[in-house]
Structure 1
Amino acid sequence: MRVTRAVVVMLIAIIVAIGDAHAAASGQSIHFDQANKVFRLDAAKVTYAFGVDDKGRLQSLYWGPRLDASDRLPPAVTPPKADGIDGDINRVRQEYSGWGGGLYYEPGVKITFPDGNRDLELHYQSYSIKGDTLYVTLKDIERAIVVTLEYEMDAGTGIVRRSATISNQTATPVVIEQANAATWFLPRSRDYTLRFLSGRWAGENDINERLVQPGKTVLESRRGTTGMQNEPWFAVRRNDADETHGQVWFGALAWSGSWQIAIEQDQVEQVRISGGFNPFDFGYKLAPGASLSTPSFYAGVTTDGLGEASRLMHRLELTKILPQAPAPRVRPVLYNSWEATGFKVDEPGQIALAEKAASIGVERFVMDDGWFGARNSDKGGLGDWVVNQQKFPHGLKPLIDRVHALGMDFGLWVEPEMVNPDSDLYRAHPDWVLYMNGRPRTEGRNQLVLNLARADVRAYVYNALDKLLSENDIAFLKWDYNRSWSEPGWPAVAPDEQKNVYVDFIRNYYGILQELRKKHPKVEIESCSSGGGRIDLGVMHLTDEVWTSDNTDAFDRLRIQDGFTQAWTPAVMMAWVTDSPTWVNSRTLSLEYRFLSSMQGSLGIGADLNKWQPQDFATARRLVAEYKAIRKTVQQGSLYRLVSPQNGSEQSATESISPDRAHAVLFAFLHSSTENYPYPTVHLQGLDANAKYRIHAIAGTFDPRTPLVASGAYWMHAGIDLLMRGDFQAAAVVFDKE
Structure 2
Amino acid sequence: MAIEVIGDRVFQLETANTCYQIQADRHNIVSHLWYGPKTGGQVMDYLQDYPDVGFAGSIADAGNDRTYSLDTRLQEYPCTGTGDYRISAAALDDSRGLDLRYEGYEILEGRPALEGLPHIRADHPGLQTLVLHLADRVTQVTCDLFYVVDEEHDAIIRSARFENQSDTPVRLDRAASLALDVHHGEPVDLITFTGRHNKERQHTRRRLEQGVVSAASTRGTSSHQQNPALILTGPDTTETSGWAVGAMLVYSGSFQAQAELDQLGQVRLVMGINPEGFSWKLAPQESFQTPEAVLIRSDAGLETLSLRFHQLIRDRLIPPRFRNRPRPVLINTWEAAYFNFDRKTILDIASQAADMDIDLLVLDDGWFGSRNSDNAGLGDWEVNEEKLEGSLQSLIEKVNAAGLDFGIWIEPEMVNEDSDLYRAHPDWVLKAPGRGPVRGRNQLVLDMTNPQVVDHLFQVFSGLLADNHITYVKWDMNRSLADRHSDHLPEDRQPEVHHRYMLGVYGLLNRLTDAFPDVLFEGCSGGGGRFDAGMMYYTPQIWCSDDTDPHERTFIQYGTSFFYPPDTMGSHVSASPNHQTGRRTTLETRAAAAMPGTFGYELDPGTLDNLEREEIRSLNRLYRELQPLIFHGRYYRLTRPEQGLALWEIADEDRILVQGLVYDTEPNALRRRIRLRGLDPEAVYEDRDQGRYTGQSLMTGGLLLPATSGSDAPVMVVLHRVKDAPADQPD
Give your verdict on TM over 0.5: yes
Match of 1:83 in 2: 54
Aligned pairs for 1:496-535 within 5 A: 496-535=492-531
The 4+ residue runs of structure 1 with deviation greater than 6 A are 75-78
User: What secondary structure sits across from 2:688 in the alignment?
Assistant: strand
Partner of 2:692: 709
**Would the aligned equivalents of 2:186 and 2:234 in 1 still touch at CA under 8 Å?**
no
Q: Which residue of 1 aligns with 2:726?
A: none
Structure 2 equivalent of residue 64 of structure 1: 36
- From 211, 218, 236, give the equivalent of 2:214: 218
Q: Which amino acid aligns with 2:26?
A: D
Residues 330 and 100 of structure 1: CA distance in aligned 2, closer, same or farther (over 3 Å)? farther
Where does residue 61 of structure 2 map in the other structure? Answer: none
* Residue number in structure 2 paired with 1:97: 78
Separation (CA, whole Å) in 2 of partners of 1:265 and 1:678:
45
Determine if contact 2:33/2:48 at 8 Å carries over to the other structure: no
Does the 8 A contact of 1:36 with 1:74 survive in 2?
Answer: no
1:102 counterpart letter in structure 2: G
In 2, the alpha carbon distance for the partners of 1:46 and 1:406 equals 54
**Is this contact kept in 2: 1:173–1:287, CA < 8 A?**
yes
Does the CA contact (< 8 Å) of 2:193 and 2:204 recur in 1?
yes
State the AA in 2 paired with 1:286: L
C-alpha distance in structure 1 between counterparts of 2:421 and 2:694, whole Å? 64
Matches within 5 A, 1:116-155: 117-131=95-109, 132-155=128-151
Name the counterpart of 1:316: 312
Aligned match of 1:359 in 355, 361, 368? Answer: 355
The verdict on how the C-alpha distance between 1:583 and 1:684 changes in structure 2, with shifts beyond 3 A counting, is same
Confirm whether residue 737 of structure 1 aligns to residue 694 of structure 2.
no
Aligned residues: 693
1:193 corresponds, among 189, 192, 198, to 189
Q: For 1:325 and 1:261, how far apart are their aligned partners in 2?
A: 32
Q: 2:300 and 2:353 mapped to 1: Cα distance?
A: 43
Aligned counterparts of 1:61 and 1:343: Cα–Cα separation in 2: 59
CA distance 1:678–1:149, change in 2 (3 Å):
same
Q: How far apart in 2 are the matches of 1:313 and 1:101?
A: 35
2:66 match: none
- The one-letter code sitting in structure 1 at the alignment partner of 2:42 is D
In the alignment, the residues of structure 1 paired with residue 252 and residue 581 of structure 2 have an alpha-carbon distance, to the nearest angstrom, of: 31
- For the structure 1 residues 76 and 239, does the alpha-carbon distance in structure 2 shift closer, same or farther, using more than 3 Å as the test? closer
Q: Is the 8 A contact 2:170 2:281 kept in 1?
A: yes
Cα displacement (A) at 1:710: 2.0
C-alpha separation between the residues in 1 aligned to 2:321 and 2:229?
Answer: 21
**Structure 2 unmatched ranges of 5 or more:** 59-68, 110-127, 723-731
Shift of 1:284: 1.2
CA displacement, residues 642-678 of structure 1 (integer Å, 9 cap, x when unaligned) = 1221x3x3322110012xx221101032222223213
Say whether residues 1:662 and 2:654 are aligned partners: yes
CA contact (8 A) 2:75 2:180 kept: no
Residue of structure 2 in register with 1:106 after alignment: 87
1:58-84, Cα deviation, whole Å (9 max, x unpaired): 11111011233x434448979555434
Identity of aligned residues (%): 33
Match of 1:458 in 2: 454
Equivalent in the alignment of 1:39 = 11
Q: CA deviation digits over 1:62-108, x for unaligned, max 9? A: 1011233x434448979555434454121232211332222212222
Equivalent residue for 1:385, pick from 381, 398, 407: 381
SS of equivalent to 1:391: helix
In structure 2, the residue matched to 1:30 is: 3
CA contact (8 A) 1:38 1:73 kept: no
Matching of residue 685 in structure 1 with residue 677 in structure 2? yes
8 Å CA contact retained: 2:342, 2:389 = no
Q: Which residue type is aligned with residue 391 of structure 1?
A: K
In 2, are the aligned partners of 1:688 and 1:712 still within 8 Å (CA)? yes
Q: How far apart are the structure 1 equivalents of 2:16 and 2:327?
A: 28
Instruction: State the AA in 1 paired with 2:133.
Output: T
Which residue identity does 2:703 align to in structure 1? I
Which amino acid in structure 2 is aligned with residue 725 of structure 1? Answer: S
> The residue matched to 1:245 in structure 2 has which SS?
coil
After the TM superposition, which of the residue ranges 259-268 and 388-397 deviates more from structure 2? 388-397
| In structure 2, C-alpha distance between the alignment counterparts of 1:666 and 1:385, rounded to whole Å | 44
Which amino acid is 1:89 matched to? L
Task: Letter of the 2:130 partner, please give it.
Answer: L
User: How far apart are 1:577 and its partner, in Å?
Assistant: 0.4
Partner of 2:116: none
Paired letter, 1:316: L
Q: Give yes or no for contact 2:56–2:71 (8 Å, CA) kept in 1.
A: no
The 5-angstrom pairing of residues 116-515 of structure 1 reads 117-131=95-109, 132-324=128-320, 327-515=323-511
* Corresponding residue for residue 702 of structure 1: none
**Does the residue aligned with 2:331 lie in a helix, a strand or coil?**
strand
Cα pair distance change 1:209/1:86, threshold 3 Å: farther
1:39-59: CA deviations, max 9, x gaps?
Answer: 111112111110100011111
Which of 694, 703, 714 is matched with 1:720 structurally? 703
Partners of 1:268 and 1:363 lie apart in 2 by: 59
In structure 1, how many angstroms separate the alpha carbons of the residues matched to 2:44 and 2:330?
53
> CA separation in 2, counterparts of 1:252 and 1:446?
33
Contact in 2 for aligned 1:171/1:288 (Cα 8 Å): yes
Measure the CA separation in 2 of the matches of 1:232 and 1:209.
Answer: 15
